[in-house]
């Protein structure tokens, strides 16, 4: 276990170096400055039906927020759904409707330009501890803050490898962590996120999701 953690930590460290190259690889060709938010507003009407006009989900129990998420991350996720690297009955079908890369860039930039998702405070002590310093099983490798940034607000526009999770819907966070843990979602670079999720108990998943959604 420790050996594996070392290997993954090294991989993760590599990815921290040179945000620009990570952007190109990870975002599948989208770079900062690509896309037109105004065009994206019209082109994303279908998406707004679930993710909200301003990117705040219309149903917190089912749909994630996209507001203020990195454009490169949105771009990658939709492509992953299109390629079958990530699967969800509803969203895979929606992703298939976007047939032009330019449309997808415009849509991604539109949601990214919206007022960033934000939690309503609240706190969970066990979740906060896990977020800041990991747990016994994973050690500091599991500390969400290392990769998702202070308050889960990411590491800046030039590093869309690590998504914004602070203020994301709680039910969605729980589902993703369980999907990573069980292997249903496996589109994370170098298996970084699966590695973390597999070291979390269901109780810890609930606690950290409650904490992160409040940020």
Torsion of CA 16, 63, 98, 79, to 10 degrees: 30
Q: Supply the Cα-derived Rg of the chain in whole angstroms.
A: 16
Nearest to ligand HEC of 114, 176 (CB atom): 176
By the rule CB under 6 A, 63 interacts with ligand HEC = yes
- Between CA 108 and CA 22 the distance in angstroms is 18
- Between CA 20 and CA 91 the distance in angstroms is 29
Task: Figure out which of the listed residues 56, 67, 117, 212 binds ligand HEC, where binding follows CB under 6 A.
Answer: 212
> Which is nearest to 43 in space by CA: 83, 86, 101?
101
Task: Figure out which of the listed residues 21, 61, 62, 201 binds ligand HEC, where binding follows CB under 6 A.
Answer: 62
- Of 16-24, 27-35, 113-121, 168-176, the segment contacting ligand HEC by CB under 6 A is 168-176
By the rule CB under 6 A, 208 interacts with ligand HEC = yes
Exposure letters 72-106 (e unless 16+ CB within 10 A, then b): bbbbbbbbbbbeeebeeeebeebbeebeeeebbbb
By the rule CB under 6 A, 102 interacts with ligand HEC = no
Exposure letters 37-49 (e unless 16+ CB within 10 A, then b): bebbbebbeebbe
By the rule CB under 6 A, 154 interacts with ligand HEC = no
- For residue 212, the minimal CB distance to ligand HEC (Å) is 6
- For residue 188, the minimal CB distance to ligand HEC (Å) is 4
Task: Figure out which of the listed residues 5, 37, 50, 126 binds ligand HEC, where binding follows CB under 6 A.
Answer: 50
By the rule CB under 6 A, 98 interacts with ligand HEC = yes
Binding site for ligand HEC (CB under 6 A): 12, 44, 46-47, 49-51, 62-64, 66, 69, 74, 76-78, 88, 90-91, 94, 97-98, 107, 130, 142, 144, 146-148, 161-163, 165, 173, 175-177, 187-189, 192-193, 196, 208, 212
């Amino acid at each position: 276990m420790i050996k594996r953690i070392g290997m993954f930590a090294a991989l993760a460290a590599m990815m921290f170096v040179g945000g620009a190259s990570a952007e190109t690889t990870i975002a599948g060709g989208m770079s900062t400055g690509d896309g037109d938010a105004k065009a994206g507003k019209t082109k994303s009407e279908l998406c707004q039906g679930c993710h909200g006009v301003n990117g705040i989900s219309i149903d917190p129990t089912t749909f994630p927020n996209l507001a203020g998420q990195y454009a490169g991350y949105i771009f990658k996720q939709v492509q992953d759904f299109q390629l079958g690297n990530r699967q969800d009955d509803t969203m895979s079908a929606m992703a298939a409707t976007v047939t032009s890369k330019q449309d997808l860039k415009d849509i991604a930039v539109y949601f990214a330009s919206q007022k960033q998702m934000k939690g309503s405070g609240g706190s969970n002590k066990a979740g906060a501890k896990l977020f800041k310093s990991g747990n016994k099983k994973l050690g500091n490798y599991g500390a969400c803050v290392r990769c998702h940034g202070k308050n889960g607000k990411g590491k800046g526009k030039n590093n869309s490898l690590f998504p914004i999770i602070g203020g994301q819907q709680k039910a969605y966070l729980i589902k993703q962590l369980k999907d990573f843990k069980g292997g249903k979602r496996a589109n994370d670079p170098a298996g970084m996120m699966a590695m973390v999720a597999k070291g979390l108990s269901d109780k810890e998943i609930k606690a950290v999701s409650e904490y992160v959604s409040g940020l």
